[in-house]
Amino acid sequence: MSKLNVGRPKGKSVLSKELIAKEALVLLDASGPQALSMRSLAGHLKVTPMALYNHFPDRSALLRCVSDMVYGEVTQSYESRSGGLRERFEFLLVKYHQTVIHHPNLSICIFQDPEAFSVEVEKITGHIVNLLAEAKIDKSKRGMWLDILVDFTHGSSIAVALNHLHESKKSNLRGASVKYKAELNLLLDVIL
């Protein structure tokens, strides 16, 4: 049995929000949504659960932090991107699709726990709404198109990720992105 680090750390603590979030993502990716609890993560990090609660009040706050870390890369990439309307639509949604493929359990956790909905996920949603407005989609239909695009992206990426997990040989993730982009363009043809 491995020894737990108990009590208050002496001097500077090596346990940080960033380290906890990174290790939570490792555990989530490897073992699935049900395996991620504060207790299991504490065991993974070889600390007491209370050490985690010093950084996060609950699992939802931890998931928000993990989500911001993961989806922050999507928003940063998109916000530094230029180009035409269609190019920006494609870039944002393909990047989001690829991220969900790599971390499907994170998306599943967010679906299961509305409190885990993060600032960065909200930014992605806002960017899609802005692109729909820029495309001059009637305000009364933007919500519908937002749902269609987001649900299509989630459905496609989670299906690819789950298929990849159940295949004995390595899935062609690049092929899945090409297929997704082609299908996305069919939707964008209707919008643009």
Report d(CA 103, CA 107) in Å as an integer. Answer: 7
Give me the pLDDT at residue 169, please.
41
Report d(CA 187, CA 192) in Å as an integer. Answer: 9
Report d(CA 24, CA 18) in Å as an integer. Answer: 10
Report d(CA 156, CA 179) in Å as an integer. Answer: 10
For the stretch 133-137, contacts whose Cβ atoms lie closer than 8 Å and that sit 24 or more positions apart, written own/partner, are: 134/85, 135/85, 135/89, 135/191, 135/192, 137/191
Let me know if residue 139 belongs to a domain: yes
Let me know if residue 182 belongs to a domain: yes
Let me know if residue 87 belongs to a domain: yes
Let me know if residue 31 belongs to a domain: no
Q: Count the domains in the chain.
A: 1
Between residues 144 and 6, which one has the greater pLDDT?
Answer: 144
Residue span of the structural domain in which 137 resides: 66-191
Let me know if residue 54 belongs to a domain: no
Which pair of tokens denotes residue 190?
Answer: 């209707």
Give me the pLDDT at residue 11, please.
42
| Average pLDDT of the residues in 165-177 | 61
- Which pLDDT band holds residue 163 (cuts at 50, 70, 90)? confident
Residues of the chain with pLDDT > 90, as a percent, come to 80
Give me the pLDDT at residue 109, please.
93
Let me know if residue 9 belongs to a domain: no
Q: Which of 119, 22, 115, 33 is nearest to 68 (CA)?
A: 119
Let me know if residue 145 belongs to a domain: yes
Report d(CA 90, CA 182) in Å as an integer. Answer: 10
- Which pLDDT band holds residue 147 (cuts at 50, 70, 90)? very high
CATH number for the domain harbouring residue 80: 1.10.357
Let me know if residue 88 belongs to a domain: yes
pTM here? 0.85
- Which helix (H) or strand (E) covers residue 78, if one does? helix 59-79
